[in-house]
């Protein structure tokens, strides 16, 4: 056998005896793992793999107009222990477990004894646990204390200490503006500013490599303490809300809701010149008490009732149909339109027949407004389609009453204004007169207020807004400026007359009882008392309740704020707008007038008036240089008779004169009228001893002026 054949035989032997069996074994094992054990190993792979996981960013704050926190995120920490961390040695565990158990049982979980806690940790390490709960919802201070404990202080890899941070949204002012601020929660529809500005407030999440240790419980542990992508904190949203006006509005509304046992109520306060919403409060009855469960100001479209009459009056005036001095018959407060009877709620109406249009508005006569609407808009001209009721509807649209305000929060209810003669809108012969007094149409309280705010702003309609800035680290990233919704909703003359009407309602109309008797300031507005849940059966009207409202602005002469108050279904202590909603408006207006500088004219606007004689300092005695310094500082003009060290102020006609005062050495001086400091200076410089009683200036002195000074004691009485 040659060498070549011998080598081939050996190769064949190895191939058949070693390589082929091994290959067959590998194929078998591969098939066995793939099919017989496939599910097990696939699950094992899913349970132990690393992937980048999202890290929640700190959510931005929502701020009041002065920077106070309305909503902020407070960090809490869930603390865990990995007794089988890959970096933990047996030596580290044994050397620290005794002291760690003692501290844990003493300061964290006193349901264990130190010995019991030690056994608990040893058992968890032996069982291969990777995720042992230490404490849930720990504060930052608690977290800092626990992470300083033995073993934990070695860090995540070597000490097995795991920190999961989560943020909870907190509102420092409780339910104040709760619905407007809103929330973003799991398994719930987001609402309010939190929802609209979620992308701004939420920031940018980070990424960190994590390993899954329990797929069933979705438990992931960080591979290391470093993040792949750092999260970026959300930006802050600064609102237009004034925390003080918001507080007084909500408190005033709450008292009224309790007193009148109402179903729900809302208040909105808006800045006239800008449309900035300074307060928006909503309260509704729940099983737990009063709560802000729904934003009625924005989301509830209501039949406004008499507060709508100003729009009807402006339509008349814009179309040149009447003057405020024209007459209208109110038929003692009761009339009929077809088969329906309309009545006035005002007690004045029963004694009145023909009155002026202005007086009809002041006493809120339904009959007067409805008859005028029927008289001027009730006939449909065949020649020109834009006549009659169509003209009235177009006029209402010219006031932007058919459009939503577009405020930032979601859920604004659309206004509902019927189209004239539309069968789809169920237009009937009685629709026009009832629309004229605020029925058969729907507007939200905010939409009604926006119209009144435009009247206060001389016809310029401002878009209501709630957010003024987006901030990062206190610096403005984006600023939202006031927006004009319509440059002029009506002519200047119409707006002027509308203001006169609203002022006269408070001066001598349905809101007269709300007027300030001392004329501290004047406000203008309109009461409203609307029927709710009414239905007609066999010529009878069944009413479920009433809705009281008041809307207006203040101060009347130079409006700064507009405000609407709506209280739904009051069941006790009255139901008229002037009795239920009006006092809430008055309380809010009083507070704003007293505390807000914007409602007051600066005292230095006009040139100062000359001081009257009684306002000038007369018979004041003192050191001349001191008196001159004070008078010059106060910008009080004066004349000086002669240059002496001491002077007396005298008022002569309308002038102030400094008369000379001579002080003689070694003679008891006359110090009556002086301040105590000057009097003691003069007396002691002449060797006299001084005793004093009382407060104020020197009223009497015991030694007669002109007496020779020989070291006597002089008693000064102040008063």
CATH for 247-441+454-599, options being 3.40.710.10, 3.20.20.60, 3.30.2130.10, 3.50.50.60: 3.40.710.10
Q: How far is CA 706 from the centre of its chain?
A: 71
Q: Is residue 218 classed exposed, middle or buried when 0-12, 13-18 and 19+ CB atoms within 10 A define those classes?
A: exposed
Evaluate whether 150 touches 96 at the Cβ level (below 8 Å): yes
* Separation in Å, CA 348 to CA 310, 343, 513: 20, 12, 15
Residue for token pair 């939409």: 447
Torsion sign (Cα): 98, 100, 106, 111: negative
Q: Per the structure block, which two tokens stand in for 534?
A: 């009414």
Confidence at residue 9, expressed as pLDDT on a 0 to 100 scale: 64
From CA 484, how far away is CA 345, in angstroms rounded?
37
Q: Mean pLDDT of successive 10-residue segments in the chain (719 residues)? A: 64 66 73 69 58 80 93 89 86 91 90 90 87 88 91 87 85 88 85 92 82 66 66 92 95 96 97 97 89 93 96 96 94 89 82 92 95 89 64 96 95 95 91 95 98 98 97 94 96 97 95 84 94 68 85 95 97 94 96 81 67 70 86 83 81 80 86 89 90 91 89 90
Q: How far is CA 26 from the centre of its chain?
A: 73
Evaluate whether 131 touches 214 at the Cβ level (below 8 Å): yes
Q: Per the structure block, which two tokens stand in for 607?
A: 């040139």
Q: How far apart are the first and last CA of the chain?
A: 146
From CA 528, how far away is CA 437, in angstroms rounded?
10
- The DSSP letter of residue 134 is E
Number of Cβ within a 10 Å radius of residue 438: 26
**Topology of the domain comprising 52-239:** Penicillin-binding protein 2a (Domain 2) (3.90.1310)
Delimit the domains of the chain by residue range: 3-36, 52-239, 247-441+454-599, 613-718
Confidence at residue 205, expressed as pLDDT on a 0 to 100 scale: 83
Q: Is residue 64 classed exposed, middle or buried when 0-12, 13-18 and 19+ CB atoms within 10 A define those classes?
A: buried
Class of domain 613-718: alpha beta
Evaluate whether 324 touches 493 at the Cβ level (below 8 Å): no
Confidence at residue 382, expressed as pLDDT on a 0 to 100 scale: 46
Q: What is the 3-state secondary structure (H, E, C) of 145-214?
A: HHCCCCCHHHCHHHHCEEEEEEEEEECCCCCCCHHHHCECCCCCCCEHHHHHCHHHHCCECEEEEEEEEE
Residue for token pair 């007086």: 359
Torsion of CA 457, 458, 459, 461, to 10 degrees: -20
With left for phi above 0 and alpha for psi between -120 and 50, is residue 106 left, alpha or beta?
alpha
**Helices 389-398 and 309-318: crossing angle, nearest 10°?**
110
Number of Cβ within a 10 Å radius of residue 367: 26
């Amino acid at each position: 056998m040659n060498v070549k054949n011998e080598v081939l035989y050996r190769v064949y032997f190895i191939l058949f005896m070693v390589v082929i069996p091994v290959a067959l074994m590998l194929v078998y094992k591969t098939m066995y793992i793939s099919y017989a054990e496939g599910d097990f190993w696939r699950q094992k792979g899913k349970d132990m793999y690393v992937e980048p996981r999202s890290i929640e960013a700190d959510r931005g704050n929502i701020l009041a107009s002065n920077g106070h926190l309305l909503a902020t995120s407070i960090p809490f920490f869930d603390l865990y222990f990995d007794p089988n961390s890959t970096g933990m040695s047996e030596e580290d565990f044994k050397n620290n477990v005794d002291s760690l158990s003692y501290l844990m049982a003493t300061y964290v979980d006193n349901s264990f004894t130190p010995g019991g806690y030690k056994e608990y940790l040893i058992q968890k390490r032996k069982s291969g646990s990777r995720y042992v709960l230490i404490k849930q919802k720990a504060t930052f201070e608690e977290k800092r204390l626990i992470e300083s404990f033995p073993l934990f202080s070695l860090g995540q890899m070597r000490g097995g200490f795991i920190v999961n941070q989560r943020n909870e949204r907190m509102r420092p002012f409780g339910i104040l503006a709760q619905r407007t601020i809103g929330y973003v929660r799991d398994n719930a529809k987001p609402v309010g500013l939190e929802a609209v500005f979620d992308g701004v407030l939420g920031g940018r999440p980070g990424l960190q490599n994590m390993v899954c240790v329990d797929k069933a419980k979705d438990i992931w542990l960080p591979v290391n303490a470093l993040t792949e992508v750092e999260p970026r904190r959300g930006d802050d949203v600064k609102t237009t809300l004034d925390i003080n006006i918001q507080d007084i509005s909500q408190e005033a509304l709450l008292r009224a809701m309790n007193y009148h046992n109402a179903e729900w109520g809302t208040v909105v306060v808006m800045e006239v010149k800008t449309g900035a919403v300074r307060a928006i409060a909503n309260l509704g009855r729940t099983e737990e008490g009063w709560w802000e469960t729904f934003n009625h100001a924005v989301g509830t479209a209501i039949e406004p009732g008499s507060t709508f009459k100003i729009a009807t009056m402006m339509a008349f005036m814009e179309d040149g149909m009447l003057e405020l001095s024209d007459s209208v018959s109110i038929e003692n407060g009761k009339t009929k339109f077809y088969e329906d009877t309309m009545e006035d709620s005002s007690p004045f109406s029963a004694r009145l027949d023909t009155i002026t249009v202005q007086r009809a508005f002041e006493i809120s006569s339904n009959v007067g407004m409805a008859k005028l609407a029927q008289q001027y808009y009730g006939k449909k001209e065949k020649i020109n389609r834009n006549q009659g009721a169509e003209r009235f509807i177009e006029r209402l649209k010219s006031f932007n009453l058919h459009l939503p305000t577009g405020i930032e929060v979601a859920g604004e209810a659309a206004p509902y204004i019927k189209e004239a003669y539309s069968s789809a809108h169920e237009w009937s012969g009685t629709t026009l007169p009832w629309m004229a007094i605020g029925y058969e149409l729907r507007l939200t309280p905010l939409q009604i207020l926006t119209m009144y705010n435009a009247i206060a702003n001389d016809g310029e309609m401002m878009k209501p807004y709630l957010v003024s800035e987006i901030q990062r680290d206190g610096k403005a990233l984006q600023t939202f400026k006031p927006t004009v919704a319509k440059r002029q909703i009506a002519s200047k003359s119409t707006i002027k007359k509308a203001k006169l009407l609203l002022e006269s309602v408070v001066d001598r109309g349905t809101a007269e009882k709300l007027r300030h008797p001392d004329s501290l300031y004047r406000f203008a507005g309109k009461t409203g008392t609307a029927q709710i849940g009414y239905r007609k059966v066999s010529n009878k009207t069944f009413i479920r309740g009433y809705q009281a409202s008041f809307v207006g602005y203040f101060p009347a002469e130079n409006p700064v704020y507009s405000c609407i108050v709506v209280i739904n279904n009051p069941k006790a202590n009255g139901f008229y707008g002037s009795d239920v909603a009006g006092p809430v408006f008055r309380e809010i207006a009083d507070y704003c007038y007293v505390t807000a500088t914007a409602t007051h004219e600066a005292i230095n606007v006009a040139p100062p008036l000359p001081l009257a004689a009684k306002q000038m300092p007369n018979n004041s005695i003192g050191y001349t240089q001191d008196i001159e310094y004070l008078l010059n500082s106060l910008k009080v003009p004066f004349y000086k008779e002669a240059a002496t060290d001491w002077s007396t102020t005298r008022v002569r006609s309308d002038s102030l004169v400094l008369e000379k005062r001579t002080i003689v050495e070694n003679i008891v001086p006359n110090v009556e009228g002086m301040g105590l400091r000057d009097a003691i200076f003069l007396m002691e410089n002449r060797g006299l001893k001084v005793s004093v009683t009382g407060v104020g200036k020197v009223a009497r002195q015991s030694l007669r002026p002109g007496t020779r000074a020989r070291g006597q004691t002089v008693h000064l009485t102040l008063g």
